[in-house]
Amino acid sequence: MAVNRSEHLANVLETHRMSHIDKLVQKFRDKRDDIKEALEEHYTSDIYSPLNSGSFGKHTAINIKFDLDVVVPFKRNSFTTIEEMYNAVYDFLYEKYEDTGLATVRKQKVSIGVIFKADKDGDQISIDVVPGREISVDSYLDVRDLNIYFNKDTWGFSKGTYMKTNIQSQIDTIKSRDDERKIIRLLKIWKHSNSESYKSFLMELFTLKAFDKSTITGNLWDKTEGVLRYIKDNVTREDFTLKDPGNPSNDLMKNLSWFDRQNLSNKMKNIIDRITENSENIKTYFPANKDFDTTESYGLKGSSGLSIPKDDQRFG
């Protein structure tokens, strides 16, 4: 029997909802809040209120892979350099959590990872802390722009350099765009389930631009296919850009090689073709989370199969 593709995708989204792992999510929230309180107590008037970001902040998280990020906005005169700020936050978190045996603290690309020891249930909570400094004195509350530090060569930036970003703009860009968030979550499920290395933020921007620049209508499969087709047709165009809403001068396409562009276009074409040939193939590219799938014989299970992201897959 042919698979109803839209119904299948709706079920895929349902089985990947965060509400299925409420208890685990609360553990993440508690650890995140603990870190935020510690930072506010330590830095007092040198920082503005820390901001929740990442996939959870954007409401695009899936329960097999999600992250809770904390952006810490420092005032302009709090540190002489962006590098000094980054290292100071790392030193504070290391002393607070690693020296006391509570967690492992590591420097990552733009964030500082705090990986807590597994609790009695075997759950290991990991939070990313992203320090940023406002561009000019007293400007943050008005424009929300921050400079973030690169601790490693990444995304076309060299270690020791910094970049302007606006996390609030990234969050606001996706606010109230329910259709887009559904497709973004589906692309994340495809990416994780098929071990694809493309950045989630890239998939997010592709989806937003597809809805902005083309006609994406119909049922859930029609909209998903429309986004896949938009990526297939445009990713190999030399003049195609994907501007970061937090920094329009940051074009993510510049960091995508011609091989990666062609490869992504081919993958999108292959997904469309194979699902068109046989609707059963949709289950390969967009599988349900069997732990929470009541439409099959799996039943409900206790584990979400949660994957803690690697440091190069975080921050957006």
Q: Delineate the domains of the chain, giving CATH numbers in brackets.
A: 5-16+177-295 (1.10.1410), 18-174 (3.30.460.10)
Q: What is the pLDDT of residues 73-127, one digit of tens each?
A: 999 999 999 999 999 999 999 999 999 999 999 999 999 999 999 999 999 999 9
pLDDT at 296: 61
Cβ neighbors of 199 (< 8 A, separation 6 or more) are: 252, 313, 316
pLDDT at 207: 98
**Using an 8 Å Cβ cutoff, are 181 and 59 in contact?**
yes
pLDDT at 155: 66
One-character DSSP codes across 188-226? HHHHHHTT--S-HHHHHHHHHHHHHHS---SSHHHHHHH
pLDDT at 309: 46
Q: 312 pLDDT exceeds 50? A: no
Q: 189 pLDDT exceeds 80? A: yes
pLDDT at 316: 42
pLDDT at 157: 77
**Using an 8 Å Cβ cutoff, are 92 and 108 in contact?**
no
Residues in the chain: 316
Q: What is the pLDDT of residues 45-72, one digit of tens each?
A: 999 999 999 888 889 999 998 778 999 9
Q: 254 pLDDT exceeds 80? A: yes
Q: At CB < 8 A and 24+ separation, what contacts does 137-144 make?
A: 137/75, 137/76, 137/77, 138/75, 138/76, 139/76, 140/48, 140/73, 140/75, 141/48, 144/168, 144/169
- The DSSP call for residue 154 is B
Give the pairing of strands 247-251 and 243-244: antiparallel
Q: 304 pLDDT exceeds 60? A: no
- Looking at residue 285, its amino acid is Y
Which two structure tokens, joined as six digits, stand for 211? 């809805």
CA distances from 39 to 34, 51, 265 (A): 9, 12, 43
**Residue 8 three-state SS:** helix
Cα–Cα distance for residue pair 271/286, rounded to 1 Å = 10
Mean local confidence (pLDDT), 142-157: 88
